[in-house]
Structures are given as structure tokens and as C-alpha cells.
Amino acid sequence: MKHGAVVLDLEVDVTPDEVYRYLGYRRGSQRSAKAQERLVELWPRALSLLRPRGAYRVVEGAEAAAAGMPGAGSEVGVGLCTVGGALEETSAACAAGGDLLDALLLDAIGSAAAEAAADALNLALCTVAADAGVHAAPRVSPGYGSWDVSFQGRLLALLPAAELGVTLTTGQMMVPRKSVSLAVSFEKDPSKGHRPGSACERCGLERCRHRVAPMRGM
Amino acid sequence: MTEASEVLAALSRAVLEGDDESVVGLARRALDGGLTPLETIEQGLVPGIRRAGELWEEGEYFLPELVSSAQAMKAAMEVVRPALARHGGGGELGRVVIGTVHGDIHDIGKTLVGTLLAANGFAVSDEGVDVPLERFVDRARELDADLVCASALLTTTMAEQRELVGALRRAGLRARVMVGGAPASREWAREIGAHGYADNAVAAVAVARRLVTGEA
């Protein structure tokens, strides 16, 4: 199944509820009128600044393991997506101009959009797996769980990062920041290595403010 | 309720509600009505921003409400600060240099901490993101900073926080160091010799106050 990279435009489904979750609101919590008004006003412009694109490849498990992926199967779908830099540049400009509320809201829209892009890319990899008659395990990313973020460069080397406009800082941080790299192990047996449930259950960032489910074993 | 106490209560409420438009008029009204700048700050503005922090800790306020309150505080301070200078200054808790370490370009969390520190009476110099060690040291020396705050959001960049503690020490500067960011922890701060750690912006204000003034 191993093949070259596929680059694609991604459809992202960003919802205000998801943005509010990134801002820390829980279901049913009261939101200030000001925050809601600003989000409504910023929404169309923010969406127009999104350029969601992604790329994926299917590689040998050994290649993914060499990029640090824990529990790589015999074949692995690796992917990279970004929503581009325009939104975060606008957010940074707002912050620099002292308008931190708008900056915060735009940043949260970007986070929700990047996650939606990752979901869309993940779905594309699940479709590749299904077409080949195998099962896609839950996606994992460098910096989460036991996959050290220092491997980010090795994972991106498997993908056309330059074509997507994604680069790394010396600290292995992706630029644009609203980018997600991921890998999905392809398994013949759906139960092998498959750990259903929220990604939050598998993530080691115990105090993450975006956590929606407790860590496994907590 | 006297006119003065009415204005002070309205100022507190405006900061708490993040009303950065009416807070400016109220600050002018307070000063024009004979309240001193320090009274306006300490009895009007500060109770509002402190209550916003408490509501955040209680889970009633979220980041947008907290930020709105900080922005309202900032808007009011722009009115009060010139009057404060004419009265001989005072009211500044300490000088802070803040930035995200070299190799890391996460911005929002660091900016939020800087904004809340400023709203709570610190003079803050925000150096931005991807800040080299030399710039932290130079600015701390230039400002005779009381506190240097360094944010790092990745395990690959948090090592810069350790380097910063060493660089400030080698430079012989008196500034204390507070670290923060997703991979940082109290244990990490202790290990690298930092003086404080905070895992959110409201806690950062309390830790900064403790480190700079000794106030709990």
C-alpha cells in the first residue's frame, strides 16, 4: 500500500461551540455578552483567513518508528495539515495593538480550525485504510503521550512540508503554529493496538486546559 | 453612599464587567471629584481586577472575561497614570520583563500573563516571542527588573528556561525568575533554580506579587 504523498485541500467544520471550548468554557457555562458579540463579528473574517490544506502518505512501519512513533504497525499513514498563517498573523497584530480579546478569540478559532483540519485529514487516512481492507488506529502526534516532540522534524521529513508552507523552529515547533502532524497505524486486526475513546484519555498532558476526559488510569 | 464611594464602586464594577468605555469616564470623574490617583487605583480599580481573578478561580469567569477586565483596567490606568506621576508616582509593584524563550513562538499565554501583571500594578516590558537569552538579560539590566518571566510551551524549548536562570545569575542581576508553560512545573522550576512557577495567568499574578513584594 506504500505510496507517494497526496496533497489536498481540506474542508474544515469549525463551530462556535468548539471555539468556546478552546477558550475554556464548559458546557452550560455563562459567556459574557461582550465575548459573544466579538466572536460573532470576527467569525466571517476569521473563516475567510483559513487556508486548510494537508498531505498524507502511507509508509512502512519501520519508517514511522524511526520517526519516533510509538506502537507503529506494519504500515502507517502519516499526515500533516495546516490552516495557514494568515489567521495567526491577524491574531498577533491584534495582540500587538493591545486588543487581546480579539487576539484570544482569533487564536481559539485557529485552534479549532487546525483540529478540524486534522480530523478531516484523519478521515482521509481512514478511507485509505478502509479501501485497503485494514483498520486505522486512533491518531497520535509528536508531543502527545509517549511520542517526544523532538521527533517532529523526522516525521515532517516523510511529508511535503515545504509544499504546505510548514517549517520548524529550532525548538521543533511548527510554523504556522496552527498546524498538526499525525500518524495512524494501519492494523489488520481492529482490536490490535486499538484503544478506543477520547484522545484526551491517551494524552499525558494532565493539566491541559482543553482536556475533555480524564487520563486513562486516573 | 457618597459621590466618591459611588464612583469607586462604579469603577470596580466597570473593570469587573470589562467595560472599557465607561471605565475611562469614571476614572476621569473620580480624579475630577477630588479622589487621589492612588485612591482611585486602590479602592476602585484594584478591587475590580482582583474580583475578576477570583471569579476565574471559582470557574465563573473564563479567559475572555478575564482579558476584558484586564483591558478595562489598562484603559483606566491610561487616564490615572499621568495624574499619578504628578502626585509623585507610587503604586507600581515592580518591574517585569516577560517573553517566550528562543525557539518558541507561542504568544497568547505569555501575553495574557503580561496583561494581567500590568493590570495588577506591575510595569511590564513584553519582549515578545522567540526571545534570545541576551535580550532577556539586557532588558533586565536596563530596567533593573525585579522579575523575569519566561514562557516555554514545548519540552524542546523549556531547556532555555534553565539557560536563562544561569545567564541572569552570571550577569549578577538581582531579578528573580518565574517560569511557566505547558511542560513546566513547580518541580522543574525548583530543579533549574527558578524562584517561581505558575500554571495560569491568575496564579502568575499571585506568584509575582509574592516574589517581588513578599506579600502572600
Q: Does residue A213 lie in a domain region?
A: no
The residue segments making up the domain with residue B116 are 94-213
Q: Is residue A127 part of a domain?
A: yes
* pLDDT for the residue A196: 45
**Res B139: pLDDT:** 98
Q: Shortest CA distance to B149 belongs to which of B108, B204, B188?
A: B204
Is there a single domain that holds both residue B136 and residue B198?
yes
Phi, psi torsion values for A6, nearest 5 degrees:
-110, 125
Same domain, B116 and B205: yes
User: d(Cα A109, Cα A43) in Å, to the nearest integer?
Assistant: 8
Picking from B86, B103, B137, the residue at the C-terminal end of a domain is B86
Residues of B in contact with A171 (CB under 8 A): 101-104, 154, 156-157, 160
Residue of B nearest to A38 (CA): B64
pLDDT given for residue A26 in this prediction: 84
Residue range A81-118, pLDDT digits in tens: 999 999 999 999 998 888 999 999 999 999 999 999 99
Domain count, chain A: 1
Residues B139 and B110 in one domain: yes
pTM for the whole structure: 0.85
Nearest CA distance, A24 vs chain B (angstrom): 6
Per-residue pLDDT of chain B (216 residues; tens, 9 = 90+): 688 899 999 999 999 999 989 999 999 999 999 999 989 998 999 999 999 999 998 999 999 999 999 999 989 999 998 888 787 766 689 999 999 999 888 888 899 899 889 988 899 999 999 999 999 999 999 999 999 999 998 888 999 999 999 999 999 999 999 999 988 999 999 999 999 999 988 999 999 999 998 865
**Domain total for chain B?**
2
Examine the domain organization and report whether B209 and B117 are in the same domain: yes
The reply to whether residue B105 touches residue A177, judged by beta carbons under 8 angstroms, is: yes
Count of CB pairs separated by less than 8 Å, A with B: 96
- B25: domain CATH number is 1.10.1240.10
A124-133 own/partner pairs: CB under 8 Å, 24+ apart: A124/A6, A124/A8, A124/A54, A124/A56, A124/A79, A125/A56, A125/A77, A125/A79, A125/A184, A126/A184, A128/A1, A128/A56, A128/A58, A128/A77, A129/A77, A129/A184, A129/A186, A132/A1, A132/A186
The A residues from 46 to 75 touching B (CB cutoff 8 Å) are none
Beta partners for B90? none
